[in-house]
Structures are given as structure tokens and as C-alpha cells.
């Protein structure tokens, strides 16, 4: 089996949110499909270890915020590589309460879909939630973020709890590649980090100590040569 074949399946990149009483949480997700038209319903797969999974099981509601292509990596990292058990993922994130009571992300969101769970199925490491859409709206025009764009253009990484996670191939150590041991982001000297003000060709040693991982916000000392 060649696991790279799976990369050809088309995915979007979303933030899925839910609530538990007065508490709210959210996470990045890509395993989302529309399953019926009448009534309109969605299916989403979430890891059983994730707090958002726990909240959906309790509240039976969730919101899918469809991210725009220009959503910054640090926002995606905030919802994808941090746990709501020990951090407020909504800090500095504009959001509002939806019809279901679950939060709707307003920053970098093209549209949102609110759903009430009608079915759920345990598939081992993940639960598939099917939800009937009860509210939706378009917030702005733009191109939606695809999983391919996130990986190929933004050079984003995949959380280990994601259904599409694949163990990274081990490559010979190179003085030009450094890995973030929080989220797995690779700093490649050849490419630099233009969005973070680091020009292509800049050695890792020459990057200012104030620079942080563009995906999860980890400090420079969390990187090791790979």
C-alpha cells in the first residue's frame, strides 16, 4: 500500500466548534462531507481523545467554520496543536454564539454551518458525527482553504490526532532543516519563512530569538536539527 495515494483525496480545512454548558471549544478538522440534501446533513470525523469530540457528545451540536485560503498558520495552529483543556483557544479570536449555542468563528471564515447531531458512530480512534444543518450563512467572498493548499503552499503540518495523519518519513540529518517538536513544522533554510520576515537562505542560527513557529507559536528553542 502506498499511503501517498490518500493525498489525492480532496479535503477542505475547517474549524469545528461545540459547547458544554457555558464552556466552548474548537479544533481544526478536514474529514467533512455533506451526506444528504433533504434534509441537508453533514458528517465529520473527530478523534476520541479531543475535547471537542467530548463536547459534541454531551451537547449534540457543532458548528463548522469554513476557513479562507489566507487564514494564518498561527490561527490554524491555535486550534490544531493546542488543547482546550489547558488553554483558551478563543483568546484574540472574534466569534459569536450561534443558534445552537455553539461558537461561530468570525476571523478568516467564509461561511459557517450549524448542525444538531442525529447519528454518531464509533470507528475506533475516531467518532463520526452526522448532523442536520439548522443554520448557515456566508460571511464573505473568497477561496476556501483546501488541505492541499495548507500543506503545499503554507507548508502546514498535520496533528497526530487527525484522521489523515501520516508518520513523517525520517530523512538524513541536515544543518538546513529544523523541526518544531511541538507541532512538527519544518524550517527549511532554502525556503525561509517569508510570512514571518525570514528571507529564503537564512540559516536557522541567524533567525532572531523572538521568532516563533508559524504553525503553533512555539519558541525557537523548541526546534531541533533533523
* Ranges of each domain in the chain: 11-152, 177-225
- What sign results for the dihedral spanned by CA atoms 161, 165, 166, 170? negative
Q: Tell me how far apart the alpha carbons of residues 118 and 131 are, in angstroms, rounded to a whole number.
A: 5
Cα–Cα–Cα angle for 89, 35, 167, rounded to 5 degrees: 50
How many contiguous H segments (helices) and E segments (strands) does the chain have? 3, 12
- What sign results for the dihedral spanned by CA atoms 71, 86, 18, 94? negative
Return the residue matching grid coordinates 498535520. 158
Is the Cβ–Cβ distance between 69 and 142 less than 8 Å? Answer: yes
Q: What is the pTM of this model?
A: 0.76
Q: Tell me how far apart the alpha carbons of residues 101 and 89 are, in angstroms, rounded to a whole number.
A: 17
Residue-level pLDDT at 58:
98
Domain 11-152 has CATH 2.30.110.10: yes
Q: Tell me how far apart the alpha carbons of residues 20 and 52 are, in angstroms, rounded to a whole number.
A: 9
Is the Cβ–Cβ distance between 118 and 132 less than 8 Å? Answer: yes
Is the Cβ–Cβ distance between 112 and 105 less than 8 Å? Answer: yes
Q: What does pLDDT average to in each consecutive run of 10 residues of the chain (226 residues)?
A: 66 94 95 93 96 98 96 87 90 95 97 97 97 96 87 63 54 72 87 90 93 88 88
Cell of 217: 507559536
Domain 177-225 has CATH 2.20.28.10: yes
Residue-level pLDDT at 82:
84
Residue-level pLDDT at 4:
62
Amino acid at each position: 500500500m502506498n499511503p501517498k495515494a490518500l493525498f489525492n483525496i480532496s479535503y477542505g480545512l475547517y474549524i469545528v466548534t461545540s459547547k458544554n454548558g457555558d464552556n466552548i471549544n474548537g479544533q481544526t478538522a478536514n474529514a467533512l462531507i455533506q451526506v444528504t440534501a433533504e434534509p441537508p446533513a453533514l458528517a465529520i470525523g473527530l478523534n476520541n481523545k479531543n475535547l471537542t469530540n467530548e463536547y459534541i457528545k454531551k451537547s449534540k451540536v457543532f458548528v463548522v467554520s469554513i476557513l479562507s485560503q489566507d487564514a494564518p498558520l498561527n490561527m490554524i495552529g491555535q486550534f490544531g496543536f493546542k488543547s482546550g483543556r489547558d488553554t483558551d483557544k478563543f483568546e484574540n479570536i472574534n466569534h459569536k454564539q450561534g443558534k445552537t449555542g455553539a461558537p461561530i468563528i468570525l476571523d478568516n471564515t467564509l461561511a459557517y454551518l450549524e448542525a444538531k447531531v442525529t447519528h454518531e458512530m464509533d470507528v475506533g480512534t475516531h467518532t463520526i458525527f452526522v448532523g442536520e444543518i439548522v443554520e448557515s450563512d456566508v460571511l464573505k467572498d473568497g477561496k476556501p482553504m483546501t488541505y492541499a493548499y495548507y500543506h503545499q503552499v503554507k507548508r502546514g503540518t498535520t496533528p497526530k490526532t487527525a484522521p489523515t495523519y501520516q508518520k513523517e518519513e525520517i530523512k538524513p540529518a541536515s544543518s538546513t532543516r529544523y523541526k518544531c517538536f511541538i507541532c512538527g513544522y519544518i524550517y527549511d533554510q532554502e525556503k525561509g519563512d517569508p510570512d514571518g520576515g525570514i528571507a529564503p537562505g537564512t540559516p536557522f542560527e541567524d533567525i532572531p530569538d523572538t521568532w516563533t513557529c508559524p504553525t503553533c507559536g512555539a519558541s525557537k528553542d523548541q526546534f531541533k536539527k533533523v
